[in-house]
Amino acid sequence: MRRALARFRLGSTARRVFGWQGLRPGQKEAMRHLVAGRDVLLVMPTGGGKSAVYQVPALLLDGPTVVVSPLIALQRDQVMSLLKAGTGAVAVNSTQSVDKGLDQVTAGTAEFVFLSPEQLAKPEVVERLAAARPSLVAIDEAHCVSSWGHDFRPDYLRLGQVIEKLGHPPVVALTATAAPNVRAEIVRSLGLRDPVEIVRGFDRPNLTLSARRFTSEDDRRRALVEHALAGEGLTLVYVPTRRDAEEYCALMEGKRAEPYHAGLKTADRNRTHARFAAGELDVVVATSAFGMGIDRPDVRRVLHAGPPESPDAYYQEIGRAGRDGRPAEAVLFYRPEDLGLRRFQAGGRADPDLLLRMAVLIREHGGVVPAGELRDLLGVGTTRLTALANLLERAGALVPGELRWARRRLTAERAAERAVELDETRHRVDESRLDMMRAYAETTGCRRRFLLEYFGQPYGRSCGTCDTCHGVVQEAVQEVDDGPFPLQSKVEHTAWGAGTVMSADPDRVTVLFDSVGYKTLALAAVDGLLKKI
């Protein structure tokens, strides 16, 4: 009965507690499904109000809401926002007493509890949360659970188990960017039950897209700095390395500028984040470490000194501009050789011999192998051991979250082979994403259409505002003919297997294959090789 009544109180609760006069498209739909007890996968653009989707229903249901959030800074900001609204909230993380935070949840004084995936790897934390009988679970940045995603985080892999141990209350998985195969893996990995998928448009009409090509690093640097200095309002500059962050920042003369990267002390990063949030900076020059939780609505431009590793990462970073709906711009300053550097930075493959040795040791042990003992036997550090364990876990060889063999009938040799195959597939997909980033940089077509169709949203026209469209007399808008392979149709290639058509032009299609990632194919060359299924 309480869930039935809650559906009719969503709007009034949003107004009374948070002062929101209306809910955006997609928000109320997701809320209604959650209070009705359904799992939801919500894909909504950055700044679209994803947090509201769990905050309002949480106040109408009995029991605390568990929010999984990857960054302590983001947890802190959201807790402060909820406390200002008069709602009990607590963050359980390494910066404060875990017991103290969980005591508030048990006592019923905290309606919201924010945790990182790492905290939920602790059995005692999960047990105490389960005892509090949570009414809702929200997974923020849900694309991190997908090995196909651009920001894969192994700790997210255990969340499906955690959800079950919490009694599987309604779950909402939230992300701003997820291609169709990533969405499918989010559902599978989290164990969502018959979820409602709500995908709001990726288009940001107020964001102007452009790219500038350079042959000289000095010319690129000079042009980007001039562009940043000439602009009014807040600017984010994304750079590939920590050294670049320091050097570009030093060139921002006359601007209140600070660098941000993982090499800085935590206190320095927190200070920059706080100054950025308070509007005390004009420019932040950062690596991708300056990411999740960037919540200012008035960023006027995002400039990239080189391409990220994928359109997924690029779209998420440029999505931090213009959240207030006013005009903003995203400019990519690149050199062709940047893509080769990115390929080098992607790292190497897993060592098959090491995987086999690890598989043999764990299988023959018969129980849970202490991590320290395994590190010593293999001669590897914690980071590498974790990466190897994740591969074996994804291959079905290990009990999730444990260094213990899962299936006696599975041989160590076959498990290692599967793990290597998974690793190779991941690298092929990553390389295909890098190829798509090159294609975006060098396209002569509409950039907006390129990005939207990359994410599976049909656009079928030119935007008229990006650099490749701007100033060119556009013909009357024409919908692109579906041709033999319509957008989002399922296809099969004789060599690459099953895939999904992501974009279609009169002479070519781009297909996302399960085994090799993105491939752009000339229609004249696929006769007999590609078929619709």
Query: Predicted confidence band at 81 (pLDDT cuts at 50, 70, 90)?
Result: confident
CATH number at residue 508: 2.30.30.140
Picking from 56-65, 286-295, 495-504, which range would have the lowest pLDDT averaged per residue?
A: 286-295
Same-domain check for residues 399 and 367 = yes
Same-domain check for residues 268 and 176 = no
Domain-terminating residue out of 425, 441, 475: 425
pLDDT at 40: 96
Is 477 inside a domain boundary? no
Same-domain check for residues 50 and 184 = yes
Same-domain check for residues 42 and 141 = yes
pLDDT at 74: 72
Determine the Cα angle at 418 with ends 146 and 431, to 5°: 50
Mean pLDDT of 134-154: 80
pLDDT at 123: 87
pLDDT at 294: 64
pLDDT at 508: 83
pLDDT at 7: 56
At 273, the amino acid letter reads: H
Picking from 125-134, 283-292, 374-383, which range would have the lowest pLDDT averaged per residue?
A: 283-292
Same-domain check for residues 69 and 153 = yes
Picking from 413-417, 455-459, 473-477, which range would have the lowest pLDDT averaged per residue?
A: 473-477
Query: Predicted confidence band at 474 (pLDDT cuts at 50, 70, 90)?
Result: very low
C-alpha distances (whole Å) from 347 to each of 166, 284, 286, 333 are 37, 27, 21, 24
Same-domain check for residues 332 and 397 = no
Is 21 inside a domain boundary? yes
pLDDT at 238: 96
Is 60 inside a domain boundary? yes
Same-domain check for residues 259 and 275 = yes
Is 326 inside a domain boundary? yes
Residue 306, pLDDT above cutoff 90: yes
pLDDT at 505: 78
Is 31 inside a domain boundary? yes
CATH number at residue 114: 3.40.50.300
Domain-terminating residue out of 199, 230, 249: 199
Same-domain check for residues 490 and 414 = no
Same-domain check for residues 321 and 361 = no
Count of domains observed in the chain? 4
Is 456 inside a domain boundary? no
Is 469 inside a domain boundary? no
Domain-terminating residue out of 173, 199, 225: 199
Residue 167, pLDDT above cutoff 50: yes
Is 111 inside a domain boundary? yes
> Do 173 and 33 meet the contact criterion of CB atoms below 8 Å apart?
no
Same-domain check for residues 175 and 247 = no
C-alpha distances (whole Å) from 181 to each of 316, 432, 498 are 17, 14, 12
Same-domain check for residues 229 and 100 = no
Please choose, from the candidates 274, 315, 311, the residue with its C-alpha nearest in 3D space to the C-alpha of residue 296. Answer: 274
Domain that holds residue 406: 352-425
Same-domain check for residues 258 and 318 = yes
C-alpha distances (whole Å) from 143 to each of 41, 180, 424 are 11, 11, 20
Residue 206, pLDDT above cutoff 90: yes
Mean pLDDT value across the chain: 85
Mean pLDDT of 170-191: 87
Residue 45, pLDDT above cutoff 80: no
The residues facing 237 across adjacent strands are 285, 303
Residue 185, pLDDT above cutoff 60: yes
How far is Cα 492 from Cα 530, in angstroms, rounded to an integer?
Answer: 6
pLDDT tens profile 355-409? 999 999 999 998 889 989 999 999 998 878 888 998 898 899 998 778 999 988 9
